[in-house]
A and B are shown apart, each in its own frame.
Chain A
Amino acid sequence: MSLAFDDYGRPYIILRDQGQKKRMKGLEAYKSNILAAKAVANTLSSSLGPKGMDKMLVSPDGDVSVTNDGATIVEKMEIQHPTAKLLVELSQSQDAEIGDGTTGVVVLAGKLLEQALTLLDKGIHPLKISDGFDRACDVAIKHLETISEEIDIQANDNEALVQAACTALGSKVVSKRKRELGKIAVTAVLDVADLARRDVNLDLIKIQTKTGGSVEDTRLISGILIDKDMSHPQMPKEVKDAKICLLTCPFEPPKPKTKHNINISSADDYKKLYLQEQQYFVDMVKLVKNSGANIALCQWGFDDEANHLLLQNELPAVRWVSGTDVELIAMATGARIIPRFQEITPEKLGKAGCVKEVQFGTSNERMLVIENCQCTKAVTILIRGGSQMIVDEAKRSIHDAICVIRNLIKDNRIVYGGGSAELACAIQVLQYADEVSSVEQYAIRSFADALEGIPCCLADNCGLNPITSVAQAKALQLKENNPRIGIDCMELGTIDMKEQRIYETLSSKKQQIQLATQVVKMILKIDDVIAPDDY
């Protein structure tokens, strides 16, 4: 196909350097793509659910991370296969949009592809399959909305939010402390949430990690924690009623952007320059001091002399505060970020109840806590744990929980977990399939089978017999017309997920099904893969 002949029998090249390219076409391409994507989904499927296992990932530099979070796993696996990469992006877009359910979405896509493979074997055209999936997806989404329930997030001391957070944390290594961590996450989100607008700016929640202690020692600080200490060892370690001056200019003589030269040609000039230089420092400190500030935080470094002058003027200061921290502090304390010393005015200072240094462990590491900020709209979650890997995983888990809570604040509709929602949708899709008279019927039916795959996988991971427990749950759902029947993963003795209080957000479930369907459709449309040979 790369070589064609024109009317005179002369060959001409359609695809250049064909010999150096790998090419797959038609059914072979479909199958290869599907198998690659399935391989990724298979890796993730054992991580699904509360009894899911973790994956250990070794980076190219030999660093180890252990995680249960789907998005992190696929990201760190460094997948090379082009189609499998689509699944990586799928997981990541779920992470970016919703923050939770990153494993579920990949597993669902894997199940859909598995079904697609059998349909292809039956000789159904890929586009028909994808049409069928599309229609089934719409039905499922509609049904999800009908079975979703609105919950009162503030009732009973935010119990619903805590439960939802617990569901998200249940599958992680920190699950033992899910209740405590869930509460921390809920308090953190509610502290910064704008309930009137139903919006949460997650930037206001800072997650700081520190190895040592145990996961139980994780706590919420109603303020900001920065990994810095005072610029001079003898500055006071605690400032009460702090008036914070936030600077983004260094305590150094100015460096104009324009290229310039100062030429000194006489001793007088030299002396003048010296005096001028001294004056710079004195002025700078004076400007800060005069504004009434009693602590200065600076994004840049200090000159030794300036540092000492600050100490002499009893003005504690912190240098090299990172840009994100500066913004966070500005938001929390109501300070304005000041880019030039001349612009310091008392109104621009931020206020906080207390700024103090805290010390951890035996190594001499200190952190700075800014507490009781004027606008308490920023909090820090300080995560502790026995090793770097645990701390990192705890951070990812708490991030998931925070996302779930945020989604609930945005949209307080929930569905029940434990595979019950998928099962209910599967039943609905199956009913719809019978009404369709075209080829798509098969695809729609397969979609229902794929949805059932999720509770199957959950049951499998929990050591239950997947076929029996799913069949049992399905029968009960049909009999009692109760969409809340799922898999009893925790062996609590009930399969009604409302009783088990396994909450998942509607938005997350909806997104999962939609994204998975989209990606599967995309994979099914590829009938030709051209890649360089050495790739």
Chain B
Amino acid sequence: MDIVGNVLPQVLKDEATEDKGEMARLQSFVGAIAVADLVKTTLGPKGMDKILKPTGPGQEMTHITVTNDGATILKSMYVENPAAKILIEISKTQDEEVGDGTTTVAVLAGELLREGEKLIQKRIHPQHVIAGWRIARDVALKRLRDISTENDINSQEFHDDLVKIARTTLSSKLITSDRDYFADLCVKAVLRLKGSSNLDYIQIIKLPGGTIRDSYLDDGFILKKQITIGCKRRIENAKILVANTAMDYDKIKIYGTKVKVNSMDKVAEIEAAEKEKMKHKVDKILKYQPTVFVNRQLIYNYPEQLLADSGITVIEHADFEGMERVAAATGAEILSTFDAPERSQQVLGHCDLIEEIMIGEEKMIKFTGCKKNEACTIVLRGASTHILDEVDRSIHDALCVLITTVKNKRVVWGGGNSEMQMAAACEEEAKKVQGKQAFAIEAFGRALRQIPTIICDNGGYDSAELIQNFKVELQKGNYTCGLNMTDGTIGNMSELGVKECLRVKEQALMAASEAAELIMRVDDIVKCAPRKRERA
């Protein structure tokens, strides 16, 4: 019914709903803020973890996840609210783009909307709010870039920065007590890549057992496979042939082929031919003179025996990723045809030593002294699979941040320093701007300041007092100050060595403000009728 009382004809489908104006806005704010509030307790070094429990029947549904990683939490949540979905989306993008700051980005967007809601209540039009935010974002971004520093990639300072950044990232995770150890480990792994950004070369192996402390970085490459029985367990100066070929039997690839025989003799003949074909293939492989043969696919007993007889160590069933890593690490080419033994020098991979090792209770194959020394393996140990999974995610975050830093090179002080500086910049700008936008610029500053406030709150400190002191310190010109979360005071970040990557902050700021703007512009939400599903 409209205002006058006319009954309006139904325009949308039966179960579809349409919310307009205030109602729509209210819905977006509530949803977005709820999501932000949900993850905000995980923020900072004293942030808490969440248990994620899948719903639904079945054995696999009982597997729970314990995590502190914003993207993981948000990804696994099922939400209906469209604005909340946008927040989850930006968190995911942050994860893909820089790998860390996934909580920050959702919390910042949520805080922006919380401030936005207050402005709307003051009867400021959303478009004015957006106009103000846009000014504020530019100002904040400029300040962020101004306060960042850059060191030469090969210098000792840069190396120190990397360690500090890794420490900062890891400090909010489960392994915070061992962060120095893991920071060092991550930096070493990343530096091996020599500037390449391919995380594939860093392999993470998770093995339950032992304690977190027992984790280590192995400079070689570890393949989670076993050497086939009857082969040598230790090969020095190995020549490796990496292949992706059928070693069970060769399918006939010509379409429409059928084998039709009319007597048992013929069957035997065909069988022999088939066997000969395989033998032929093995012979061709042997011409390359490898000492180790790694195949992605399964290897039947017959060819395996042939190869083993020639003193070649056989590894079968290497998965696709493993194969690519072996190939990359040892400098081998992945072969599928074997007609050019003269290229043997180019296609074979080399490494000094291949041996079967035991980690915990599992047998693995370790390649050391590879031709291309980029690949390495991080072996994670821990008391349970839940811990291992969480450590894996933390290490992944740290590695992503480090790689981003190596690419971007610029760093800022951590401990809320960058957020406070950006907030200060917004407030300075607000004083210069005429018109209603100024309120929005101030609000942007307040939202930014919420990040260190939440970090304080999570640590159980008096946030109001700390943040005020923080402000004063900055005002005094002490530009390296920040939150000391161990003592609950304002400390000097250069002494504490808390640094963060500029790119992560930049991306979080941009993504959060873009998302907040997107949600703010909405004045109408149309939900289509949900698709009817046939119950199976």
On A, residues with C-beta under 8 Å from B are 32-33, 35-36, 39-40, 43, 46, 51, 53-62, 64, 66, 68, 73, 76-81, 84, 173, 176, 211-216, 232-234, 252-256, 259-267, 270-271, 273-274, 276-277, 280-281, 303-305, 307-309, 311-312, 359-365, 385-390, 393, 462-463
Contact = CB atoms under 8 A, between A and B. Distances in A.
Contacts of A280: 254
A172 B38 CA distance: 31
Nearest to A217: B510
Interface in B225-260: 244-245, 250, 252-260
B9 A387 contact: no
B interface, size bucket? 35 or more
Given A78-B13, A386-B514, 7 more contacts: A60-B529, A64-B89, A80-B12, A81-B9, A263-B258, A361-B97, A386-B515
A54 B518 CA distance: 8
B459 interface: no
Interface stretch (B62-70, B261-269, B306-314, B408-416): B261-269
B199 interface: yes
B398 to A, nearest CB: 12
Given A64-B82, A81-B10, A264-B258, A307 B514 contact: no
B99 A362 contact: yes
A81 to B, nearest CB: 4
Contact of A389 (B254, B335, B343, B518): B518
A118 B275 CA distance: 90
A386 B511 contact: yes
B47 interface: no
Given A308-B244, A387-B515, A57 B255 contact: no
A385 B514 contact: yes
A211 B95 CA distance: 11
B165 interface: no
A291 B199 CA distance: 37
Contact of A253 (B9, B89, B254, B258): B254
A54 B262 CA distance: 74
B526 interface: yes
A54 B525 CA distance: 9
A270 B327 contact: no
Given A53-B126, A308-B335, A262 B518 contact: no
B8 A387 contact: no
B514 A54 contact: no
Contacts of B254: 253, 262, 273, 276-277, 280
A390 B231 CA distance: 57
A388 B92 CA distance: 10
Please indicate which of the listed interface residues B24, B134, B198, B253 has the most CB atoms of chain A within 10 Å of its own CB.
B253
24 contacts: A35-B6, A39-B8, A43-B524, A57-B528, A58-B525, A58-B528, A61-B530, A62-B80, A78-B13, A81-B9, A81-B12, A173-B517, A173-B521, A176-B134, A233-B328, A234-B327, A267-B273, A273-B254, A311-B334, A362-B199, A364-B199, A365-B96, A387-B511, A388-B93
Interface in B190-222: 197-200
A57 B326 CA distance: 47
Leading 10 A-B pairs by shortest Cβ distance: A308-B336, A386-B511, A53-B523, A212-B97, A267-B269, A60-B531, A267-B273, A214-B510, A386-B514, A387-B89
A39 B11 contact: yes
Contacts of B433: none
Interface of B: 6, 8-14, 16, 18, 20, 24, 28, 80, 82-83, 85-86, 89-90, 92-93, 95-99, 125-127, 134, 197-200, 244-245, 250, 252-262, 266, 269-270, 272-274, 276-277, 324, 327-328, 333-337, 340, 343, 400, 403-404, 507, 510-512, 514-515, 517-519, 521-531
B98 A270 contact: no
Contacts of B522: 53-56, 66
Contact of B253 (A43, A59, A253, A385): A253
B270 A270 contact: yes
Nearest to A386: B511
B200 A309 contact: no
A53 B126 CA distance: 9
B287 to A, nearest CB: 15
B253 A260 contact: no
B250 to A, nearest CB: 7
Contacts of A78: 12-13, 16, 528-529
Contact of A62 (B83, B518, B530): B530
B257 A262 contact: yes
A329 B202 CA distance: 36
